[in-house]
Copies of this chain bind each other. A is one copy, B any other.
C-alpha cells in the first residue's frame, strides 16, 4: 500500500512549516526560498521536494486558519440576529485573517501563475461559505442582489492589499463601507 514516510522526512516537513511561518511573518509570503531554507537548516531542494510550488507551502502554513474561517460561516449564521450581521461578522473574520498575513492579499490577486493554485484553494474552500451567507441575506431582503459571492470576496480581498504595511490605511473601514453599500436602503 502506501509505504510510511521516512522519519527524517516527517521531521523536516514540520521544521519547514515552522520556518516558513516565521519567515512569512518576518518578510511576507514572498520571502526568498533561501531565507526559508536557512531558517529551517535545510537545502533549497528539500523545500521543493515537500512543497513543489509556493502556493503549496502557503496553503500548508495557513490551512488551519482557512478551515476555521470556513467553518465559522454556518456557525455565525445560526448564532446571529440577522443574516446581514452574520455576513458582516464573517467578512470581518476574513479581513482579520488577510491583513495579518504580510502580502497574502496581494499574492491572492496576483496573476502570477505560481499563485493560481493559492487563489483556487481559497475560492474552493471559502467561496461556498460566502455564497451561503450572501444568499441568506438576500432571501431575508437585507441586501440588494446584484453582486456575486465571487465579486464580493475579490473586492474584500483587494481592499486588504497593503493594509499591513501602511498604518494610515484602514482596510476594515473600507470593507465596512463596501458592506454598507450592499445593504438595501430604507426607502
Contacts and interface: CB of A to CB of B under 8 A. Distances in A.
Interface of A: 103, 106, 109-111, 146-148, 150-151, 154-155, 158-159, 161-162, 165-166, 168-170, 173-174, 176-182, 185-186
Contact of A185 (B154, B161, B165, B185): B185
19 contacts: A111-B162, A111-B165, A146-B173, A147-B173, A147-B174, A148-B168, A151-B168, A151-B173, A151-B174, A155-B177, A158-B161, A158-B162, A159-B159, A161-B161, A178-B178, A179-B181, A181-B181, A181-B182, A185-B186
Q: Which of A147, A162, A179 has the most CB of B within 10 A?
A: A162
Q: Which of A110, A161, A169, A182 has the most CB of B within 10 A?
A: A161
A142 B62 CA distance: 42
Contacts of A111: 103, 162, 165
A155 B168 contact: no
Contacts of A109: 106, 161-162
A66 to B, nearest CB: 20
Given A150-B169, A180-B181, 4 more contacts: A109-B161, A180-B180, A181-B182, A185-B186
A174 B23 CA distance: 34
A184 to B, nearest CB: 11
A177 B182 contact: yes
Nearest to A28: B111
A155 B174 contact: yes
